[in-house]
Structure 1
Amino acid sequence: MGPAFQRLNPSRTPAPSTDNDPMTALAEQRTTERYGVNAPYTAVRVEPRNGVGVPLEGHAYDVSATGLRFELDEALKVGEPLSLELLLPGAGGWVRLAGRVVRLFDEADDPGPRRMAVHVDSFENELHRERLLGHLDRGYLMMA
């Protein structure tokens, strides 16, 4: 994975929440539609950007232009920066991006592999951004 990334939207700031419910707060911050993907066929490779640890492999469950929900065998910490590669069948190759973990699903609700959500901060380059956005625009995926 390359070290240089393009900023996704440097002027975007999350909308403030007026509700104390964390799920409502997350939903209010979404600025793009989420699309469900077929998890067994949508691979992710994650590498912590702090240089500690080994790359991890898992599967994505839904994706948008600004984030995705995925699972790994090990939980990452909320706020942890990472480099991620996403393979969407039919997208023409891996999508490489940088992001940070914004949500870790409750272990009691999520036995086994841990599901988490990541916010996309940037793409490796414009090709990777266009690869993801083009795939979402083609209409192959259902809204989540």
Structure 2
Amino acid sequence: MQSNIDRRLHTRYSLPAMYWAVKVRPLDSDEFLWEGHAYDISVGGVRFELDRGIEPGTPVAMQIEPPHAAVAGTTERRAVFVFANVVWLEDEDEPGPVRMAAVFSRFARTGDEELLKTKLFNGWFAQAA
């Protein structure tokens, strides 16, 4: 018997392809080593792709760049920074970018969670299935 109960704590939102850029780094690196794109996102996590897979269980730091992420009252663009754990990895043997998912453990800076919520809850994005 299969259960269709959604165990997620947060509503996920589908994102247009290649619309939200992501940069990822292992916690022992000061530089973001890998770049890719988000496919769907919630306040609690993100599904994204990179050119290489990251093993589930790996803690990472992520920079998520919402489109037009300007700080109110300025022209400064602002990304969201989070610490996360990779929880899911698509089959790496397939050619092309690898899709995976990460659960956010915490937001790195004051205001990052609020910025993400503002972008998600503005009515522009459809809820993911």
TM-score by length of structure 2 reads: 0.83
| Higher helix proportion | 1
* CA distance, structure 1, for counterparts of residue 40 and residue 83 of structure 2: 17
5+ residue gaps in structure 1? 1-18
Aligned equivalent of 2:65: 87
Paired letter, 2:112? H
Paired letter, 1:63? I
Deviation per CA, 1:22-72, whole angstroms, max 9, x where unpaired?
x969x42x1011101123221000001133996100011000000000000
- 2:25 is aligned, of 43, 47, 51, to 47
Paired letter, 1:107? E
Aligned residue-pair number: 121
Identity %: 36
5+ residue gaps in structure 2? 71-77
After the TM superposition, which parts of structure 1 deviate over 4 Å for at least 4 consecutive aligned residues? none
TM-score by length of structure 1 reads: 0.75
Paired letter, 2:85? R
**Residue 60, structure 1, aligned to residue 38, structure 2:** yes
Deviation per CA, 1:83-119, whole angstroms, max 9, x where unpaired?
00011113332110000100001235x5310000000
Aligned equivalent of 1:97: 82
**Residue 37, structure 1, aligned to residue 15, structure 2:** yes
CA shift in 2, pair 1:142/1:90, >3 Å: farther
User: Aligned to 1:122, what secondary structure does the other structure show?
Assistant: strand
